[in-house]
Amino acid sequence: MHAPRSSAALAVSLDPVRPAWRSALAVVCLALAVAGCGQDDDPAPVPAPAPAAGTPPPTAVGGVSQLAAPLPVWLTETSVVAPLSKATLDASAVAQGWTAHLGPARCDVTLHAILHPTTGPRGEATDASGAVMVPGGAGCPGPYPLLSYSRGTDLDRSRAMATPGDRETQAVAAFFAARGWVVVASDYLGYARSSFPYHTYLHAESEARTGIDALRAARTLLAGLGVPESGRLAVVGYSQGGHAALAIQRAIERDRPAGVAAPLATGAMSGPYDLAATLAESVQALPELAVSLGSSGSSRDVLLRLGDVLGTSAADLLQGGSQLASVLQANSVIGWRPLAPVLLCGGSRDPVVPFANTTRAAADFTARGATVTVIDVEQDPVLRIGLPPAGAGRDALGRYHQGDVPPRCFAATRDRLLEALR
């Protein structure tokens, strides 16, 4: 059975009008998105095809990155979207209020759009889009390391990271690309220009494959543009992207895919790493969820369709049915030993993704012998400056997950993890 398109489910799960049951319904909806991906019949990761021998590299013509035919198999299409000068990045930082954590840009950045082949959750051939942010300019010499960036969830399936005015794009460019990292930011399956019919929300293996294939596409682009690489790779992501970042690290260290270096470190921020335990945390809110569903046909339909997918009943799901827990457990990104160091950053008052995800992931990884650093922005004397006051209610924390925590965790990840790796 194919998973239904998840955009409607996400729209329900993130409904800001009903915050009391939002987190519980989010768990139900993420399971709806991943359950149909067939964990039992999901094949092993499909190796990407080898680049065609003798394929001409891409060349820069008239400010647009154009590929000579035939196209390299790693990269379907690419174009220059916009130059982002240091002055432009600094002005954006002032407008967004990031200057306290950012510092001045060291590099100009050129934003490229890419479209590349990848595979879906069952190994089916498809494509995904993304952005490649290439640093350069005076005072920013190469060779440059690569940084895989995985974005947060968005209800707008047309949104693309290769958009100069996008707030997350601006943040990633300013914090990472403007410090000398070539940033490769995937749009995920089913978003932006991807032809895949739905978004595989929090499906760990397809997140990983898409991110890895985006790195291959970016390396093809860099080779054609003559941009030197250092051979170093870091993996970073925020919110859903934190989950994806750990999935990418796990897949690279497990499978050693051709054309992709082993990551030197991973920075995962405010992500839902332990999905099965997140369900358990939400069970106490489920009775209220059941009442709320009574006035929402669309929400009720989501829950009933989830029952159909899992072969159980909506009532079982409201009680935290074992099949639902099994799906979430299969897509959790803990329960393995990261070889490269991991930094986990978040805020302990996060009302969207509980910080307990961070502490559980850290405990699990540490017990397996991994090197893990945990940063709670609330406990850091520098990062906590400017956060909502102690005792602030849920309404006052409305921007906490999307506005307050990201620049603080981006800065901590860059300065305390990545700077030493460049």
How many whole angstroms separate alpha carbon 402 and alpha carbon 407?
9
**How high is the pLDDT of residue 330?**
86
> How many whole angstroms from its chain centre is CA 116?
17
Q: What is the pLDDT of residues 228-246, one digit of tens each?
A: 999 999 999 999 999 999 9
Percent of the chain past pLDDT 70, that is, above it, reads 72
Q: With contact defined as beta carbons under 8 Å apart, do 150 and 236 qualify?
A: yes
The better pLDDT of the pair 277, 243 is held by 243
The predicted pLDDT at position 276 comes to 77
User: Does the pLDDT at position 54 exceed 90?
Assistant: no
Residue 46's pLDDT band (cuts 50, 70, 90): very low
Question: Each residue of 182-195: pLDDT tens digit?
Answer: 999 999 999 999 99
List the CATH code of the domain at 75-274+332-421.
3.40.50.1820
- For 376, other C-beta atoms within 10 Å of its C-beta total 18
CA atoms within 13 A on the CB side of 284: 3
Report residue 382's pLDDT band, with 50, 70 and 90 as the boundaries.
very high
Which of 30-34, 316-320, 324-328, 402-406 tops mean pLDDT? 402-406
The domain segmentation of the chain, as residue ranges, is 1-36+279-331, 75-274+332-421
Tell me: pLDDT of 85 over 70: yes
**Under DSSP, is residue 231 helix (H, G, I), strand (E, B) or coil?**
strand
Of 56-65, 246-255, 371-380, the poorest mean pLDDT is in 56-65
pLDDT at 323: 64
Q: pLDDT at residue 310 above 70?
A: no
Q: Which residues of 175-209 are buried (b: 16+ CB within 10 A; e: fewer)?
A: bbbbbbbbbbbbbbbbbbbbebebbbbbbbbbbbb
pLDDT attached to residue 200? 86
Q: Is the pLDDT of residue 60 over 70?
A: no
User: For position 94, what pLDDT does the model report?
Assistant: 95
| pLDDT value of residue 26 | 46
Section 338-363 average pLDDT: 95
Using alpha carbons only, give the angle 85, 412, 350 rounded to the nearest 5 degrees.
Answer: 110
Instruction: Report pLDDT for 83.
Output: 97
C-alpha dihedral sign at 304, 310, 314, 320: negative
pTM above 0.85, yes or no: no
Q: What integer is the mean pLDDT of 339-352?
A: 95
Could you read off the pLDDT of 155-170 as tens digits, one per residue? 888 999 999 999 999 9
Average pLDDT over residues 23-31: 43
Predicted confidence band of residue 321 (pLDDT cuts 50, 70, 90):
low
Q: Is the pLDDT of residue 86 over 60?
A: yes
Residue 61 has pLDDT above 80, yes or no: no
Q: Is the pLDDT of residue 419 over 90?
A: yes
Arithmetic mean of pLDDT, 391-414: 91
